[in-house]
Amino acid sequence: MSNERIHVEHPETRRIHVGVGGWTFEPWRNNFYPHGLPHKQELNYASRQLTAIEINGSFYSTFKPEQYARWRDETPEGFKFSVKANRFTTHRRDLSTSRESIERFTGSGIAELGDKLGPILWQLMPSTQFVRENIEAFFRLLPKEVKGKRLQHVLEPRHESFVSAEYLELAHKYGVATVHTDSGKYPSIADPGTPLAYLRLMRSEAAVPTGYAPSLIAQWAQGSKAWVAKGADREVYAFFISSAKERNPAAAMEMLRQLSLQA
């Protein structure tokens, strides 16, 4: 695989960002990463094969501003990071008590990513049910910007009670997008009422070289093209995560190929 930046052929597809969760995964070495590639060069390499990465280490740890700045500088122009919020912000029964944790996370240095900062992902516990007062209290705490950088917020509910018109109406009220997943374990929520589509694709298979059959990836690619074609404010983030993780970079690259973002 070339170390050159992916060539973007169609202006609309610049608003479709495709990648994986994280970039440090031992099975990717000598698989996705070239043989002998130093570990410290993995982000540099991955960011030239993909167009986005979901930072998920931030779910478990707090990174320093200089780390975010280093990641910004190691990646090419146009690359995007989404950032998974620390679990202490959302893994609690009463979400109205999250203010301090939210402020600590959003003030931890994510603004250092600059124009490469994409959405913030807030993942709820599978046991968290949709109770309007609780979710609205949380939405009210989400900042609209940090250090002058506008923030995009995405909620990942993992309980079936969120599959409701009332939840979507509330999310629209606060400008929060909702994860759409193909997981058989978590609810798959389609939300045509927001300009941001955030896909977390969790069914890659080890026996398939591209993780998903190319015909299935074509459905996600075509759906993403149709989404952004509906308006200049529309954007898609698609991440292949979980399941057969060793195949997820290949799945992302196949989707990019089908989007005509790479040869």
Kindly report, residue by residue over 111-134, the tens digit of the pLDDT. Answer: 999 999 999 999 999 999 999 999
- Cα separation, 147 vs 240, whole angstroms: 30
Q: What is the mean pLDDT of the chain?
A: 94
- Cα separation, 250 vs 234, whole angstroms: 25
CATH of residue 200's domain is 3.20.20.410
> Tell me, what's the pLDDT at 30?
84
> Tell me, what's the pLDDT at 261?
54
Q: How confident is the model at residue 263 (pLDDT cuts 50, 70, 90)?
A: very low
Any domain includes 154: yes
Question: What pLDDT, in 10s, does the model give residues 100-110?
Answer: 999 999 999 99
> Tell me, what's the pLDDT at 91?
96
Total number of domains in the chain: 1
Any domain includes 5: no
Whether pLDDT at 247 is above 70: yes
Any domain includes 216: yes
Q: Tell which wins on pLDDT, 30 or 148.
A: 148
> Tell me, what's the pLDDT at 260?
81
For residue 237, give its domain range: 11-258
Rounded to two decimals, the pTM is 0.94
Average the pLDDT over 10-26 and give the result: 90
Whether pLDDT at 9 is above 70: no
> Tell me, what's the pLDDT at 8?
47
Question: What pLDDT, in 10s, does the model give residues 158-183?
Answer: 999 999 999 999 999 999 999 999 99
Any domain includes 69: yes
Positive or negative torsion for Cα 249, 254, 258, 260: positive
Any domain includes 86: yes
Q: How confident is the model at residue 10 (pLDDT cuts 50, 70, 90)?
A: low
Any domain includes 2: no
Q: How confident is the model at residue 13 (pLDDT cuts 50, 70, 90)?
A: confident
Average the pLDDT over 231-253 and give the result: 96
Average the pLDDT over 215-237 and give the result: 96
Any domain includes 263: no
Contact 53, 47 (CB under 8 A): yes
Whether pLDDT at 5 is above 70: no
The secondary structure of the chain as a DSSP string is --SSPPPP--GGGGGEEEEEE-S--GGGBTTTBPTT--GGGHHHHHTTT-SEEEE-GGGTS---HHHHHHHHHHS-TT-EEEEEPPGGGTSSS-GGG-HHHHHHHHTSSGGGGGGGEEEEEEEPPTT----HHHHHHHHHHS-SEETTEE--EEEE--SGGG-SHHHHHHHHHTTEEEEEE--SSS-----TTSSEEEEEE----TTSTTSS-HHHHHHHHHHHHHHHTT-TT-EEEEEE-SSSGGGHHHHHHHHHHHTTS--
